[in-house]
Chains A and B, each alone.
Chain A
Amino acid sequence: MDPILDPDVELMLRVKAGDRNAFEMLIGKYQRPLINLIGRYLGAYDDAEDLAQEVFVRVHRAAPRYQPTAKFSTWLYTIARRLCANHARGMALRRWFSLSRDMADREDDPPDEGLDVADPADDPSVAAEKRQLRRVVAQALAELPDTLRFAVILRRYEELSYEEIAAILGCSVTAAKLRVHRAKAVLAKRLAPYAKDAR
């Protein structure tokens, strides 16, 4: 899409001009996908809202220099990707330096149970099965290498085109396709025992 035709670019240009209401509209539109993108990438929602807020703070601070060279969402998700990578790197460094024994002990813990969204209509045994399945899926996603994980999340949950994914990841369209394909293959192998639970 031509950035000029993107309504969110128009909103961002209004933010650049000092329009606070436009900024709040962008938050309203992107807070949910952003939080879920970050939560799925990190495998936990503990820090997802904080990081998502930080993304919007970066957007606001960059407003005076904003130049619409791509879709707004491409720019937003690029900022999110960098923050996620920095956050993940920080977590890895903390574990490596053993600054927190709890962090190291949590390495083998299952992903955040906050990923669970219980359906009140389910009876307890069904709810428990669904919860376990979600844990397995979240774990499989978390085990993907960073580059594959972000790509497949953008493709599966945001339904972005390979061109958009490539722009966000800073790679070629071919590389974006390869990353998604590889992620699918890895996930298919990892989740094969649970194929019967797929509906």
Chain B
Amino acid sequence: MTMTQSDSPTCSTVRAMLAEDLKTQSESVERHLAGCAACRAVAERLKSAWTLLGTLENREPSPRFAAGVMAKLAPTETHARPFIAPWVRWTATAAAFAAIVVVTSTILDRGETEDEAASAVVADLDLDLLESQEMLQNLDVIEDLDLLLLLDEG
């Protein structure tokens, strides 16, 4: 986006653009900074904070990191997954849904019907995740439940 001399950006626009990219700034931003002490101070603070983050230097992995990964794989190192009958997976999925509906209804407690709560949960959950038994075991659905709570608070 190019700006003419007459299209001088406001302080709020400049500060938004400052946060966008600290490596290079447009000519219009530079011109504004030259004449605005407040925005220069903001720019300096943003730049300093970005530089200070660099004090957290990288750490090197321990020499046995890769061996540690391979050791964790060893007991189950196989490309063949155990066979799980489809009806078992769907039963587990249904049980997880039922548990989520109960928990969601209890936590939200908005007088919604169970159907409404279940619909809200289903609408926002990634069903592909629930079909994966590995995801169930790792309870990744809780992450979506937390998001639901945040949306409810908002």
Residues of A within 8 A of B (CB): 18, 24, 27-28, 31-32, 35-36, 39-40, 45, 49, 52-54, 56-57, 60-64, 82, 85-86, 89, 114-115, 117, 130, 133-134, 137-138, 141, 152, 156-157, 177, 180-181, 184-185, 187-192, 194-195, 197-199
Within 8 A of A (CB), among B15-48: 16, 19-20, 42, 44-48
Contact, CB under 8 Å: B48 / A191? yes
Q: How far is the CB of A84 from chain B (nearest CB, A)?
A: 11
Chain B at the A interface: SS class: helix
B19 touches A184 (CB 8 A): yes
CA distance A82 to B56 in the complex (A): 23
B58 touches A64 (CB 8 A): no
B87 at the binding interface (Cβ < 8 Å): no
Chain A residues near B107 (CB, 8 Å)?
none
B2 within 8 Å of A by Cβ? no
Q: Select one of A49, A60, A133, A184 contacting B49, CB under 8 A.
A: A184
Return the chain A residue nearest B64 by Cβ: A49
Measured CB to CB, the nearest residue on chain A to B19 is: A181
Residues of chain A with a CB closer than 8 A to B20's CB: 177, 181
- Cβ–Cβ contact B138 & A86, under 8 A: yes
Most buried by A among B45, B46, B146: B45
Select from chain B the residue with minimum beta-carbon distance to A43. B56
**Segment from B6-14, B71-79, B92-100, B115-123 that makes contact with A:** B71-79
For B76, the chain A residues whose CB sits under 8 A away are 61
Given contacts A117-B57, A133-B52, A185-B46, 19 further A-B contacts (CB under 8 A): A24-B70, A45-B59, A49-B61, A49-B65, A53-B69, A60-B73, A61-B134, A63-B79, A86-B140, A114-B59, A134-B55, A137-B53, A137-B55, A141-B56, A187-B52, A191-B45, A191-B49, A195-B52, A198-B47
Nearest CB of chain B from residue A127's CB, rounded to whole Å? 13
Q: Is B69 in contact with A27, judged by CB distance below 8 angstroms? A: yes
> Are B68 and A53 in contact (CB-based, < 8 A)?
yes
User: Which one, B49, B55, B68, contacts A187 given CB within 8 A?
Assistant: B49
Q: Pick from B50, B59, B81, B138: contact of A39, CB below 8 A.
A: B59
* Docked complex: B133-147 residues within 8 A CB-CB of A: 134, 138-140, 142-143, 146
The reply to whether A187 and B53 form a contact with Cβ atoms under 8 Å apart is yes
